[in-house]
């Protein structure tokens, strides 16, 4: 695209998922001025993933009235090196991104500085800036979907840890003799409380009726109707989440847990067991006043979190 002056009042956010990339131009208030969704082939090589994203971003910039964004934020699954923007691990579902830096490619292609971070960390940044995290100075964001991710906010800022990889609550081991996890450990939270784990638990309990639910939200609808096996499946997920989150509460004395991701659409069917079980594992004094709430940004959390990353790197 033709280079033009950068606008200080807007940034670009890009949220890379397994089937598409969401792209938007976002102002300082979190309003999305223009947006697009670009399909991707997760098994394609790097250039065949990022070039359509760059083309989509150019189109969104034009749709927003032109003028380059002040910066570009980009979020994706996996471990992202904060200095280079390269994916250094956890990219098995999009293997072409391994060891490559989408921000470097986009900065060269578009002509604006670009930065990257993990998708759950960006979701935490989004909820802090624009969503359910605004009342809290410290919280844990847990994304419950095909897997379980997490992001931390401490002292009113996203906390990334020594190497930028903090927040991987899905791979906290709850039982060293538990099921093997693809991460190499055993008994990880993800094996008990992710969407597939909830469906698996329901099928084991429901027996011959197991064809009635093929997704965690199917199971959630059954649980909302009072079906015992579905209620038991969510109770088990809530206990696992309560154990993991309770440990974080004891360690960090945070104010809240914000639950997002696709399975969070189950609402109180998921949140109520988590609240109940957390008090079994958190020290009573630390659990007092602790809040468990639903994330508020839905499918825009990644896009807005990527934009929040860009604003952060630009100095606010």
Q: How far apart are CA 37 and CA 28, in angstroms?
A: 21
pLDDT in tens, 53-63: 999 999 999 99
Confidence of residue 208 (pLDDT cuts 50, 70, 90): confident
What pLDDT, on the 0 to 100 scale, is given for residue 91?
84
Give pLDDT tens digits for 288-301. Answer: 999 999 999 999 99
Q: Is 163 left (phi over 0), alpha (psi -120 to 50) or beta?
A: alpha
pLDDT bin (cut points 50, 70, 90) of residue 3 is low
Higher pLDDT, 3 or 170: 170
**Contact 259/294 with Cβ under 8 angstroms?**
yes
Q: What is the set of domains in the chain, with CATH numbers?
A: 6-119+300-313 (3.30.420.40), 132-296 (3.30.420.40)
pLDDT above 60 for 26: yes
What percent of the chain is modeled with pLDDT above 90? 92
Strands of the 20-27 sheet, one edge to the other = 32-39, 20-27, 10-16, 72-76, 114-118
Q: What is the number of alpha carbons within 13 Å of residue 291 lying toward its C-beta?
A: 14
Residue 212 confidence class, pLDDT cut points 50, 70, 90: confident
Which region, left, alpha or beta, applies to residue 111 given φ > 0 means left and ψ of -120 to 50 means alpha? left
1, pLDDT greater than 90:
no
Q: What is the mean pLDDT of residues 224-247?
A: 97
DSSP class of residue 119 equals H
Confidence of residue 210 (pLDDT cuts 50, 70, 90): low
Reported as a single tens digit per residue, the pLDDT across 165-200 is 999 999 999 999 999 999 999 999 999 999 999 999
DSSP 131: S
């Amino acid at each position: 695209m033709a280079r033009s002056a950068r606008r200080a009042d807007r940034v670009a956010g890009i949220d890379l998922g397994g089937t598409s990339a969401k792209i938007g131009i976002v102002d300082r208030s979190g309003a999305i001025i223009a947006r697009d969704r670009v399909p991707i082939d997760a098994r394609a090589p790097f250039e065949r993933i990022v070039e359509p994203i760059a083309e989509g971003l150019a189109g969104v910039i034009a749709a927003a009235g032109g003028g380059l964004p002040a910066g570009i934020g980009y979020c994706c699954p996996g471990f992202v090196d904060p200095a280079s923007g390269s994916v250094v691990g956890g990219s098995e579902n999009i293997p072409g991104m391994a060891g490559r830096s989408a921000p470097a490619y986009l900065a060269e292609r578009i002509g604006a500085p670009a930065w990257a971070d993990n998708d759950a960390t960006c979701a935490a940044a989004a909820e802090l800036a624009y969503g359910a995290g605004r009342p809290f100075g410290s919280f844990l964001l847990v994304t419950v979907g095909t897997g379980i991710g997490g992001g931390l906010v401490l002292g009113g800022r996203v906390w990334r840890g020594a190497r930028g990889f903090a927040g991987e609550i899905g791979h906290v081991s709850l039982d060293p003799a538990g099921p093997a996890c693809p991460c190499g450990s055993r008994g990880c939270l993800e094996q008990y409380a992710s969407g597939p784990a909830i469906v698996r638990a329901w099928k084991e309990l429901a027996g011959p009726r197991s064809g009635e639910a093929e997704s965690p939200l199917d199971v959630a609808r059954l649980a909302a109707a009072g079906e015992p096996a579905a209620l038991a499946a969510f109770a088990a997920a809530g206990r696992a989440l309560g154990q993991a989150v309770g440990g974080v509460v004891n360690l960090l004395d945070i104010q809240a847990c914000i639950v997002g991701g696709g399975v969070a659409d189950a609402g109180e069917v998921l949140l109520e067991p988590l609240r109940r079980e957390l008090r079994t594992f958190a020290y009573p004094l630390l659990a007092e006043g602790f809040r468990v709430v639903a994330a508020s940004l839905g499918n825009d959390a990644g896009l807005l979190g990527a934009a929040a990353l860009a604003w952060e790197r630009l100095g606010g």
